[in-house]
């Protein structure tokens, strides 16, 4: 397992309207939760703009507010047996798994500046995933009353999950997209509280390895268009906070 803060240097996409931080190393869940919580407080106080984190996690199971005992079996030792962490979280939804090879996006944004309510925001985040998959010739689908994104061939399988919390008008948590990861840990739970829920990944469908950095960059582009923000690119470091290291340079704005 990689060390919690192993020279983690995020790429920072920023403008006067918002910031997207893209981290290169898998991050421990508690570290990212502390970062989300701090950014949430700063956003509420108007001390920072809307911020979106794009990253991978070290192996962890998270139990959302609607998790039932039957969704994960109640045996913490069994889930932790192969080195995964276990965290209870205040997002909506049930249990899920995060690990290297899965991209997680956490928007810390003022809801009323981007959507009419939580349902529209969920639709927007699903749309981000669907557009990203389309760039890789994968057709993503919505299924009524099952938030997230699914693929329907050869059989229905979940490729992305969504779980949000709106607190004082600012969002927390977000979505997870399975890119090129070990899917076996999902077999120990009922993902999102759905028994017999097949789970797949982009690499499984395309039968090839996929660059995580490429997908993170693609995702940053699509997020910027979905939320109508122009981003620039700068280097950054994470050491109790985010600071620019170098001059920012314009990101290619030719993409519609």
What is the Cα–Cα distance from 20 to 196, expressed in whole angstroms?
35
Active site residues: 192
Helix (H, G, I), strand (E, B) or coil at 83: coil
Assess contact for 103 and 179: CB atoms under 8 A. yes
Q: By the 8 A CB rule, do 176 and 103 touch? A: yes
114 torsion bin: left (phi>0), alpha (psi -120 to 50), beta (else): alpha
Q: Which of helix, strand or coil describes residue 197?
A: coil
CB neighbourhood size of 210 (10 A): 15
Q: List all residues 6 or more positions away from 34 whose beta carbon is below 8 Å from its beta carbon.
A: none
Q: Omega before 154 cis (within 30°)? A: yes
């Amino acid at each position: 397992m990689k060390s919690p803060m192993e020279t983690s240097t995020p790429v920072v996409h920023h403008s006067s309207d918002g910031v997207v931080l893209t981290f290169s190393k898998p991050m421990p869940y508690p570290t990212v939760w502390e970062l989300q919580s701090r950014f949430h407080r700063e956003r509420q106080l108007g001390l920072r703009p809307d911020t979106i984190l794009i990253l991978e996690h070290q192996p962890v199971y998270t139990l959302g507010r609607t998790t039932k005992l039957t969704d994960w079996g109640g045996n913490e030792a069994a889930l932790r047996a192969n080195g995964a962490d276990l965290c209870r979280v205040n997002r909506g939804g049930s249990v899920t798994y995060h690990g290297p090879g899965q991209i997680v996006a956490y928007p810390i944004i003022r809801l009323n500046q981007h959507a009419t309510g939580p349902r529209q925001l969920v639709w927007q985040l699903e749309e981000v995933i669907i557009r990203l998959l389309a760039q890789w010739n994968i057709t993503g689908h919505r299924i009524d009353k099952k938030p997230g994104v699914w693929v329907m061939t050869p059989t229905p399988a979940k490729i992305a999950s969504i779980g949000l919390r709106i607190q004082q008008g600012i969002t927390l948590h977000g979505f997870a997209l399975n890119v090129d990861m070990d899917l076996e840990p999902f077999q120990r739970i009922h993902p999102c509280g759905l028994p017999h829920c097949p789970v797949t990944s982009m690499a499984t469908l395309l039968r090839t390895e996929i660059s995580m950095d490429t997908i993170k960059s693609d995702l940053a582009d699509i997020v910027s268009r979905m939320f109508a923000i122009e981003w620039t690119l700068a280097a950054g470091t994470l050491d109790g906070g985010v600071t620019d290291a170098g001059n920012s340079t314009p990101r290619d704005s030719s993409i519609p």
